[in-house]
Amino acid sequence: MKYFQGEILTREGFITGYLAYDQEHVSSEICKGIPPEKPIAQGLILPTCINAHTHLGDSFIRFKQLKLPHNVKDLVAPPNGLKHKLLKEATEQEILEGIQTSLSEMISTGTSCFCDFREGGLIGIYQLKKGMKNYSIDSLVLSRPSQMKYEKEELDRLLQNSDGIGLSSISDWDFSEIEKIARHVRKKKKLFALHASEVIREDIDHILDLHPHLLVHMIAATQADLQRVTDAAIPIVICPRSYLFFRLRHNLKDMKKTGVSLLLGTDNAMINTPDVLEEVRILQKTGIFSLKELLTNVTYTPRKALNLDDCIQGRDLSKKVIVLERDSLKLLYVST
């Protein structure tokens, strides 16, 4: 038997104590006092992380050492952003190797599941699933039509092979096409997610009319917009390092005031490593959120929002845990 000792994150907050670990599972019982043997790691003990927003297909671009534009439209907006041009030009092997590098990075930094927005229609889904073979990490795959329009047959095939649909913003699309897609996804009881109000404020009525299960960004939304999202119980994924790269202003204080449910993601793998703990470290420097809130935003909150079933009973710790150094949040240990 091995032991972890320190401050253990539960849904109710931190509890000081230790956990037993027998190489197959972590005990759900938090013990008080000193463990019977020297612990293998001491620090902050929490469930493995959930990266709630990735684009792993563009991982290969990070290693091309290109000077990327710091403008959302020029770099990532479909269909003509540089990212989409590079994806069309890339070989499948390039894309697969990039995905696999990102998967390895996530596993080594304590992430056990990620939610990926897959460009490229069915091919995009197959590339991710092919890349994930032999990697011990879970995923939610939100696919996207190959063209920016609704086609029933294609959408049926996408939903048969993925967990739902994840679209770019309503500003990129003919709204009537998104309406058809959202309605189809709801009918099939799959997840519908949407980028929203990233660079400019978008019409909150139109956004909510789509009944999304998950929104990404919303950093240009007003406090009134955020309150409506909070009232509708729709979680928002924020990606702080992406906003720094694109030099975007944010409304994190308004998010804190409204109490909207927040998840964290790393966004495009071409500009950021997919280490969601880096997002926590960036946000910690703002002083807006407590450490408990931030760590909950990468553990318990996304598990609830995304209906992930990888927690055991008792204190609701994950089947695996990670241990962080208290002050730096440096990763000390990942249980296997």
- Write the DSSP string, 127-172: HHHHHHTT---EEEEEE--SSSS--HHHHHHHHHSSSEEEE--TTT
pLDDT at 79: 87
Q: How far is CA 11 from CA 18, 47, 260, 292, in A?
A: 16, 11, 17, 9
Q: Which residue has the tokens 């290693």?
A: 63
**pLDDT tens, 176-192?**
999 999 999 999 999 99
pLDDT at 319: 67
* % the chain with pLDDT above 90: 89
pLDDT for 62 beyond 60: yes
Instruction: Please state the length of the chain.
Output: 336
Over range 307-311, report the average pLDDT.
72
CB atoms within 10 A of CB 63: 12
Q: Which residue has the tokens 């609704």?
A: 150
3-state SS class at 295:
helix
- Per DSSP, 18 falls in state E
pLDDT at 314: 45
Would you say the C-alpha torsion 321, 234, 175, 76 has a positive or negative sign? negative
Amino acid at 315: R
**pLDDT tens, 267-277?**
999 999 999 99
pLDDT at 311: 54
Over range 62-79, report the average pLDDT.
93
pLDDT at 2: 87
Note every long-range contact of 203-208, with CB atoms under 8 Å and residues 24 or more positions apart, other chains counting: 203/170, 204/228, 204/229, 206/170, 206/175, 207/170, 208/232, 208/234
pLDDT for 206 beyond 50: yes
Distance CA 80, CA 174 (A): 16
**pLDDT tens, 122-164?**
999 999 999 999 999 999 999 999 999 999 999 999 999 999 9
pLDDT for 310 beyond 70: no
Distance CA 38, CA 11 (A): 27
* % the chain with pLDDT above 70: 96
CA 144 to chain centre: 17
Distance CA 68, CA 223 (A): 32
Half-sphere exposure of 155 (CA within 13 A, CB side): 23
pLDDT at 21: 83
**pLDDT tens, 240-288?**
999 999 999 999 999 999 999 999 999 999 999 999 999 999 999 999 9
259 and 239 in contact (C-beta within 8 Å)?
A: no
In 3-state terms the chain splits into helix, strand, coil percentages (rounded to 5) of 35, 25, 40
Confidence of residue 209 (pLDDT cuts 50, 70, 90): very high
pLDDT for 305 beyond 80: yes
50 and 112 in contact (C-beta within 8 Å)?
A: yes
**pLDDT tens, 94-132?**
999 999 999 999 999 999 999 999 999 999 999 999 999
**pLDDT tens, 13-54?**
999 999 988 766 777 788 999 999 999 999 999 999 999 999
Please, where are the H alpha helices in the chain?
A: 72-75, 82-89, 92-108, 121-132, 152-160, 175-187, 204-209, 223-231, 240-246, 252-258, 276-284, 291-296, 300-305
Q: What is the model's pTM? A: 0.95
